[in-house]
Structure formats: structure tokens, C-alpha cells
């Protein structure tokens, strides 16, 4: 069997001296690989808001490192003042994007380190924050590997897979989530054909997913979003694998805009639709998808981004939600690092956490 090692992108990491968080600027891909070195609050906020770092797990990893780097700026403060400054920085970063639960999850986890160690000197707390940020990253690598293993168990050599948006190494760590089974299978000598939706208006599928897959030697075909139906009808798709930004307690799933339409098409053609993501994206405090706040983005992303000239009348109104919610009834399974959760999700997600 042919083994092909996949090159794993160092999309989020600490600098060698530990003073900056370094990211691959995803807005520059695929034409340029640009590394940004960040150590101030506003650039860290902008990196999340402007999608220079994106993908729910990657945002969580970045948030952990960012909070450590920022906290390292003020080790001389008293504990109370340190706590106050840390909380303010955390809340500001948390306001950058509201839908992906990993952001608030990682920020709260970092703040817990501060709150749980009030008996320690501030420099010692800063050291613990660095350790916690690294742990968050290492845990995500392990989770993505486990998710990839579970997802690969659903595929056979030669399968066609359709994916929407980007849930590969750039959006997470190591193998990724939705793309992880494909990359892991590729390393083990398996061959798949992936159809990647371009994912308007930000083109994550075109710019990022097709870039990752082609770089790994995967047979990938880029399609416009409105072509998903015909490739399914042609019998070229055996499964749909997508990532997620938040999973409600009943199994409703928020993911990049257009995902729910793909799920509806898959249901029509009898194709299993799977959501892949770490358990940190499951929000048991959110009862249903109706309770998920959907981020609305700048209308100019539709009219002007990627074009030399505007592609719509200047005064036309635009509706630009970043995400939509896929109803749990359309989902065949939710694949986490702990295993594959099947319906009924309201019962089985609770069991997942009980275990």
C-alpha cells in the first residue's frame, strides 16, 4: 500500500520566543502564503473579525495563544488589576465573531486559569496561561486525529465526497475535521474524489479547501455552489462531510452559509450528510438552532470582493449572513473525537457528555 505523508500547515503557533502568536493569513491564500506576527489586542481582534484566522477550532487555538501573549505584557500588575485587564481583553476578543462557540469556549478556559490561581504571583499565572494555550492546541490535534479516524470508518476506497466551505488543516489543526478523513485515508493509500463547493461570497472552498486537497495529492474538483445538485444527481457523491461552528443540544448545526441547502439536496438524493467537529463545538446551553446567533457581515463582500468592478448596482440591498443552521433531521451523524453520534441527537448528545 502506498503511504503519502500529508504536510500539516502550521496555521497557528507561538513564535520561538513565545512573545507573539503567528498565523497564516488565510485572506491571502492561495496566491500568497503570508505569516502575520501578532502581539497586540486590536490586531488580534482584527485577525478574527477579518477572517485572517478562521475555522471554529483554529479560532479557539488562536484565542488561547492570543490571551497568553497579551497577558505577558503586564506581569507587573497586581492580581486584581491583572484580572480586570485580562477580562476586558477577553470580552473584546469574544465580540469579534458571535457564532463559533470555540472562541468563547477557549477564552473562558483561559480566564478560568486566572480565576483558579489567585494565590499565585502574576508571572506564575502567565506561565500557566502559556501552558494552557499549548494544551488547547495539543488537544485539538488529538481531537482532529480521532475525528478523522471515525470519519474514515464511514468511507471506502474510491468514494466521492462533497464538502462545503473549509474544515481542513487551515481551519483546525493537523488533519482538520471534515477534510480529515480524506487526508488520513490519503496517507494510507486510499483514493477519494472530492467535490469542493466554492462557498460564496468568501470563497473558502475555492481558495482554501481546493488548495489543501490539491497540495495533498487528493483528486479534487471545484464546483460552484449551485452545481451541488447535478453532481449528486449524476451519482458522483457517496457522502457529504462538512464542519461546524456550533452544534445545539438537539443536533441542529450552524455552519457556513449554504450548508443547509447542501443538506436538503443530500436528503433528496439519499446521500448521507455528516457533520464533523470536536466536542467543544457542541453547546448544550443552546437548546436548538433557533437560539444560535447568526453573524451578519458587510454587504460589500457580495458586491465588490474579488472583483475589479462592482458586480451589482451600488444602491442594491444585500443580505449577507455568514452562517445558516442545518436542521438535525437532515443529519445522518455528528462525528466527534468521542465517536459517531446518531439520532436522536437530543438524547445521544447528552450521553456523549455523560460518558
Report, as residue numbers or ranges, the catalytic residues. Answer: 245
Cβ contacts of 103-110, under 8 Å, gap ≥ 24:
103/48, 103/56, 103/59, 103/60, 103/63, 105/60, 105/280, 106/59, 106/60, 106/61, 106/63, 106/64, 106/136, 106/280, 107/63, 107/67, 109/64, 109/136, 110/63, 110/64, 110/67, 110/68
Residue 247 DSSP SS3: strand
Q: Which helix (H) or strand (E) holds 274?
A: strand 273-276
Whole-number Å distance between alpha carbons of 111 and 49: 21
Whole-number Å distance between alpha carbons of 101 and 110: 14
Pairing verdict, β 246-248 and 282-283? parallel
Amino acid at each position: 500500500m502506498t503511504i503519502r505523508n500529508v504536510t500539516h500547515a502550521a496555521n497557528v503557533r507561538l513564535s520561538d520566543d513565545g512573545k507573539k502568536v503567528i498565523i497564516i493569513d488565510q485572506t491571502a491564500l492561495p496566491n500568497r502564503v503570508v505569516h502575520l506576527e501578532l502581539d497586540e489586542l486590536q490586531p488580534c481582534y482584527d485577525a478574527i473579525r477579518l477572517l485572517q484566522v478562521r475555522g471554529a477550532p483554529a479560532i479557539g487555538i488562536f484565542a488561547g495563544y492570543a490571551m497568553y501573549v497579551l497577558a505577558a505584557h503586564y506581569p507587573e500588575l497586581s492580581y486584581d488589576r491583572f484580572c480586570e485587564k485580562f477580562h476586558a481583553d477577553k470580552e473584546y476578543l469574544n465580540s469579534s465573531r458571535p457564532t463559533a462557540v470555540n472562541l468563547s469556549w477557549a477564552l473562558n478556559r483561559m480566564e478560568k486559569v486566572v480565576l483558579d490561581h489567585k494565590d499565585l504571583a502574576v508571572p506564575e499565572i502567565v506561565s500557566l496561561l502559556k501552558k494552557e494555550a499549548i494544551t488547547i492546541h495539543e488537544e485539538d490535534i488529538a481531537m482532529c486525529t480521532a475525528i478523522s479516524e471515525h470519519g474514515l470508518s464511514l468511507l471506502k476506497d474510491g468514494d466521492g465526497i462533497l464538502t462545503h466551505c473549509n474544515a481542513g488543516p487551515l481551519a483546525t489543526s493537523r488533519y482538520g475535521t471534515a477534510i480529515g478523513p480524506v487526508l488520513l485515508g490519503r496517507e494510507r493509500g486510499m483514493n477519494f474524489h472530492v467535490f469542493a463547493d466554492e462557498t460564496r461570497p468568501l470563497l473558502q472552498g475555492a481558495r482554501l479547501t481546493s488548495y489543501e486537497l490539491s497540495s495533498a495529492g487528493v483528486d479534487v474538483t471545484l464546483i460552484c455552489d449551485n452545481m451541488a445538485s447535478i453532481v449528486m444527481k449524476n451519482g458522483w457523491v457517496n457522502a457529504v462531510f462538512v464542519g461546524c461552528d456550533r452544534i445545539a443540544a438537539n443536533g441542529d448545526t450552524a455552519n457556513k452559509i449554504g450548508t443547509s441547502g447542501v443538506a436538503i439536496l443530500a436528503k433528496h438524493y439519499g446521500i448521507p450528510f455528516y457533520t464533523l467537529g470536536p466536542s467543544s463545538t457542541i453547546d448544550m446551553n443552546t437548546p436548538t438552532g433557533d437560539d444560535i446567533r447568526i453573524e451578519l457581515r458587510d454587504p460589500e463582500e457580495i458586491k465588490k470582493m474579488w472583483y475589479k468592478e462592482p458586480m451589482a448596482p451600488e444602491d442594491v440591498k444585500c443580505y449577507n449572513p455568514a452562517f445558516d443552521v442545518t436542521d438535525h433531521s437532515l443529519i445522518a451523524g455528528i462525528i466527534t473525537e468521542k465517536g459517531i453520534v446518531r439520532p436522536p441527537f437530543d438524547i445521544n448528545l447528552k450521553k456523549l457528555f455523560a460518558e
